[in-house]
Amino acid sequence: MKKIYITLLMSIPFLLFSQRQNDNWYFGNQAAVNFYNQTPVGITTSNMNSMEACGTVSDDGGNLLFYMSGEKIWNRDNQVMPNGTLLAPYQNDSAQQLVIVKNPGNSKQYYVFITGENSAPINTISYSLVDMSLGAIGSNGAPLGDVVQGVKNIPVQDNTGQTFSSEAITVVPNVLDESFWVLIPNGTKLYSYKVSHQGITNGNPVVSDLNFPVSLNQSKYYSIKPSPKIPYNYNHSYSHYICISYYLDTNTTNPAFTNKVYSFNSSTGMITPDYSLQIDGIRGYVPEFNKDASVLFLGYRNIHAIDLVNSTPSNIQHMEIYHPAVDPLFESLGIQRNKYGDIYISRPDNIYLGKILNPDVYGSSMGVDMNAVPLASGGARYGLPQPVESQYDVTPYSPCMDQLTLSTPETHYTFFTYNVAKEIKTIGNYEITPDQGIIMNSGNSITLLPNTLIRAYRYIAKITPCDPNAVNKFTANIAKTPVNMFLNLDKGEKVKLSTELRIFPNPVRDILNISTPGKINEIEMYDISGKKVDVAVRNNQVDVKNIPSGSYVIRITTDTGVATKQFIKR
Is the same domain home to 423 and 512?
A: no
Among 425, 454, 471, where does a domain finish? 471
Assess if residue 299 is contained within a domain: yes
Q: What is the tens place of the pLDDT at every residue in 311-370?
A: 888 888 889 898 886 655 456 789 999 999 999 999 888 999 999 999 999 988 899 999
- Nearest Cα neighbor of 175 from 417, 436, 478 is 417
**Per-residue pLDDT, 62:** 93
Is the same domain home to 305 and 451?
A: no
Phi, psi of 474 (to 5 degrees): -125, 25
The number of domains in the chain is 3
Is the same domain home to 217 and 315?
A: yes
pLDDT, mean over the chain: 84
Among 374, 392, 411, where does a domain finish? 374
**Per-residue pLDDT, 188:** 93
**pLDDT, average across residues 88-112:** 88
The CA distance from 268 to 176, in Å, is 9
Q: What is the tens place of the pLDDT at every residue in 212-241?
A: 988 887 667 899 999 998 876 655 688 899
Exposure string of 456-483, with b = 16+ CB inside 10 Å and e = fewer, is: bbbbebeeeebbeeebebbeeeeeeeee
Phi, psi of 189 (to 5 degrees): -125, 155
The CA distance from 433 to 413, in Å, is 9
The CA distance from 138 to 341, in Å, is 32
pLDDT at 1 over 50: no
**Per-residue pLDDT, 249:** 65
**Per-residue pLDDT, 171:** 97
pLDDT at 396 over 70: no
The CA distance from 273 to 100, in Å, is 29
Share of the chain above pLDDT 70, in %: 83
Assess if residue 457 is contained within a domain: yes
Using a CB cutoff of 8 Å and minimum separation of 24, what contacts does 147-154 make? 147/73, 147/81, 147/83, 147/84, 147/86, 148/83, 148/109, 149/83, 152/83, 152/86, 152/128, 153/86, 153/87, 153/126, 153/128, 154/126, 154/127, 154/128, 154/202
**Per-residue pLDDT, 498:** 41
**Per-residue pLDDT, 567:** 83
Assess if residue 478 is contained within a domain: no
Assess if residue 50 is contained within a domain: yes
pLDDT at 492 over 50: no
**pLDDT, average across residues 398-416:** 81
Assess if residue 480 is contained within a domain: no
Provide the CATH number for the domain around residue 132. Answer: 2.130.10
pLDDT at 17 over 70: no
Is the same domain home to 94 and 242?
A: yes
The CA distance from 264 to 272, in Å, is 6
**Per-residue pLDDT, 494:** 36
- Nearest Cα neighbor of 34 from 70, 76, 72 is 76
Three-state secondary structure of 483-524: EEEEEECHHHHCECCCCCCEEECCCECCEEEEECCCCEEEEE
**Per-residue pLDDT, 48:** 96
Domain limits at 327? 24-374
Cα torsion angle, 160, 164, 166, 168, sign: positive
More confidently predicted of 425 and 118:
425
- Nearest Cα neighbor of 330 from 248, 219, 223, 243 is 248
Of the spans 72-86, 298-312, 319-333, 471-485, which averages the highest pLDDT? 72-86
pLDDT at 478 over 60: no
The CA distance from 350 to 354, in Å, is 10
Range with the poorest average pLDDT among 87-96, 343-352, 500-509: 87-96
Provide the CATH number for the domain around residue 562. Answer: 2.60.40.10
Is the same domain home to 99 and 154?
A: yes
- Nearest Cα neighbor of 9 from 499, 425, 515, 317 is 425
Max CA separation in the chain (angstroms): 90
The CA distance from 545 to 537, in Å, is 12
**Per-residue pLDDT, 64:** 97
Range with the poorest average pLDDT among 43-57, 66-80, 248-262, 516-530: 248-262
Residues 6+ apart with CB under 8 A from 42: 32, 33, 34, 373, 374, 375, 376, 377
Assess if residue 389 is contained within a domain: no
Assess if residue 380 is contained within a domain: no
pLDDT at 164 over 60: yes
Residues 6+ apart with CB under 8 A from 383: 27, 28, 50, 51, 52, 53, 54, 96, 97, 286, 334, 346
Residue 91: pLDDT band by 50, 70, 90 thresholds? confident
Q: What is the tens place of the pLDDT at every residue in 540-553?
A: 899 999 999 887 87
The CA distance from 38 to 22, in Å, is 12
- Nearest Cα neighbor of 297 from 267, 337, 250 is 337
Is the same domain home to 175 and 276?
A: yes
Of the spans 45-49, 419-423, 540-544, which averages the highest pLDDT? 45-49
Using a CB cutoff of 8 Å and minimum separation of 24, what contacts does 58-63 make? 58/20, 58/21, 58/22, 58/23, 58/24, 59/20, 59/21, 60/17, 60/19, 60/20, 60/21, 60/457, 61/20, 62/20, 62/23, 62/24, 62/34, 62/36, 63/140
Q: What type of residue sits at position 305?
A: A
Is the same domain home to 41 and 168?
A: yes
The CA distance from 18 to 294, in Å, is 24
Residue 177: pLDDT band by 50, 70, 90 thresholds? confident
**Per-residue pLDDT, 415:** 67
The CA distance from 218 to 8, in Å, is 60
Of the spans 12-26, 72-86, 429-443, 548-562, which averages the highest pLDDT? 72-86
pLDDT at 75 over 60: yes
Is the same domain home to 190 and 77?
A: yes
CB atoms within 10 A of CB 160: 7
What percent helix, strand, coil does the chain show, rounded to 5? Answer: 0, 45, 55
**Per-residue pLDDT, 10:** 40
Is the same domain home to 369 and 414?
A: no
**Per-residue pLDDT, 491:** 38
Helix (DSSP H) and strand (DSSP E) numbers for the chain? 1, 46
The CA distance from 227 to 288, in Å, is 7
**Per-residue pLDDT, 26:** 98
Cα torsion angle, 340, 344, 67, 70, sign: positive
Is the same domain home to 343 and 408?
A: no
Residue 476: pLDDT band by 50, 70, 90 thresholds? very low
Strand order in the sheet with 220-226: 220-226, 240-249, 258-265, 270-280, 483-488
**Per-residue pLDDT, 344:** 97
Cα 118–Cα 254–Cα 209 angle in degrees, nearest 5 = 55
Is the same domain home to 511 and 430?
A: no
Residues 6+ apart with CB under 8 A from 140: 63, 76
Is the same domain home to 183 and 308?
A: yes
Residue 118: pLDDT band by 50, 70, 90 thresholds? low
